[in-house]
Structure 1
Amino acid sequence: MSESPRSESRRTESPRTESLPAEAPREGHQGTGPGAITPDGCAVDLYVRLPVRNEPDVVQQAVPAGATLLELGSGAGRVTGPLAARGFAVTAVDESRAMLDRVEARVPGVRTVHSPIETLDLGEERFDAVLLASFLVHAPDPEKRQALLRACRRHVADGGCVLVQREGDGWHTGLPREASLGDGVSRVLSSEPVAPGVRSVHVEYVFPDARWTQTFLSRPLDAAEFTAALAGAGLALDTYLTEDGTWARALPV
């Protein structure tokens, strides 16, 4: 595993690439509700409210203590803070400046990088672990999916690993499906086919004082397709980290 200077992991960086304008919605993605909405339909004020789940435990069990960690698509820092509190040197990357503003407010001193994931270029810097969560691997465009995975590959150290969150079996069936969010609730209301291999998913988030919705596109991947996608980016599946197969560890090849 590489050793990156910890001092390098505690600063905010300007992007090395051009980021998408916050007001430009991505085709097939939409969000409604109070506050700023990112291009993929994520509501910034909502993401501040979302509780952390098992992500920090999954990471802690999969990588060495104190590892340097590149978090791709950090959002508002829901996972960033708990990872930093556990001693990981986290670099948080997001295309939304509004999201990164929340990360910096919640995790003072954390290093952030404002950039799309696909074109992220941190030069020769490599990380002990790269995290691609939030089902980003299910990007509807296979070329974008592979660009995301290539970004993981080019920033992981020799001997390091890439941790990927993927949809579980049956994620698009048995709807509507509901989950608790503390004093709120999330509901996956529908998942409808809109193109070969692509589905449009509609979710609502309801709290006592606010309601948000998000519509986004997803390309489901079975185990064989997931393994092939990793291989196409120079990564090899090492193991599944959770019994439901929603977290996987891949190694550079």
Structure 2
Amino acid sequence: MELRMREGYEGTGPGAITPDGCAVELYARLPVGDEPDIIAAAVPEGARILELGSGVGRMTHALLERGFEVTAVDESAEMLERVRGARTICSPIEGLDLGETFDVVLLASFLVHVGDVEVRRGMLRACVRHLAKGGCVLIQREGEDYHTNVPRERVDPAGFTVRIVSSEPVGDGVDSVRAEYVFPDATWTQTFRARPLTRQQFEEALGEAGLRVDRYLTADRVWVRAVPVTGG
């Protein structure tokens, strides 16, 4: 069954494209960065991790290699087909209710910046709903110049180029972002919507869901460790 592309989202390039414009083959090619090391340093060894928005498993596989038990959730069955070694669940994040809890809930890929405020609220509630007592939520934010330092590009050591071509306001505090990924043998594009959040707006969104910042894990405050306001 072919899923309809979401309004304001588009993807081009070889292979399957998910409703939010992500190309499955592209994400299967992208290398994992230092994110797994940041996560591993912030949580207990061997923790049970619920990874929300796992995609093809770039971080999933790296976390498994570090001895974590990972449940990978994504709304794209074609993405999850690429995940190996982890339990997988095909579901939208905001409606997820597994009836169980985890030591760590991971919300990466800038998902907290989704344009739809109600979807963001649902995602953060899902994080809290699945968090074990004493557990933490790890969230990846956009860099503070993500929407202003455009156009920009980065040449990856693996031999491809990532470009953020534009970020244009479309109303209600939301921007339309266009990205390009250029490989020697193929090019993919993705257009998606994102809501810039100042540090204060981000922390207020957490508070609304019953979370607070425990600490920022990186100097640029992109990675955040959050815990329940009540202390879990």
Give TM class, smaller chain: over 0.9
Instruction: Supply the AA of the counterpart residue of 2:166.
Output: S
Matching of residue 53 in structure 1 with residue 33 in structure 2: yes
Alpha-carbon deviation of 1:196?
2.3
Corresponding residue to 1:149 among 121, 124, 132: 124
Instruction: Supply the AA of the counterpart residue of 2:101.
Output: R
After superposition, the C-alpha distances for 1:88-146 in whole angstroms (9 at most, x for unaligned) are 0000000000000011xxx2x311011110101101x1000000000000011111111
Give the match's secondary structure for 2:4: coil
Corresponding residue to 1:83 among 54, 57, 63: 63
Give the match's secondary structure for 1:171: coil
Contact 1:22 1:96 in 2 (8 A): no
Question: What residue number does 2:144 align with?
Answer: 169
Give the match's secondary structure for 2:58: coil
Give the match's secondary structure for 2:57: coil
Alpha-carbon deviation of 1:22?
5.0
After superposition, the C-alpha distances for 1:44-96 in whole angstroms (9 at most, x for unaligned) are 00000011011101111110000000000000111110000000000000000
Give the match's secondary structure for 1:227: helix
The structure with higher relative contact order (CA 8 Å, sep 6+) is 1
Question: What residue number does 1:205 align with?
Answer: 181
Question: What residue number does 2:106 align with?
Answer: 131
Corresponding residue to 1:242 among 189, 214, 218: 218
Give the match's secondary structure for 2:177: strand
Instruction: Supply the AA of the counterpart residue of 1:52.
Output: V
**1:1-253 correspondence runs (5 A):** 23-103=3-83, 107=84, 109-123=85-99, 125-181=100-156, 182-253=158-229
Which deviates further from its counterpart, 173-182 or 62-71?
A: 173-182
Structure 2: any 5+ residue segments left out of the alignment?
none
* RMSD of equivalent CA atoms: 0.9
Percent of aligned pairs sharing the same letter = 63
**Partners of 1:179 and 1:82 in 2: CA distance:** 23
**Partners of 1:25 and 1:81 in 2: CA distance:** 28
Contact 1:158 1:252 in 2 (8 A): no
Give the match's secondary structure for 2:167: strand
Give the match's secondary structure for 1:79: helix
Instruction: Supply the AA of the counterpart residue of 1:148.
Output: M
Contact 1:23 1:38 in 2 (8 A): yes
**Partners of 2:227 and 2:2 in 1: CA distance:** 33
Contact 1:204 1:214 in 2 (8 A): yes
Aligned residues: 228
Give the match's secondary structure for 2:19: coil
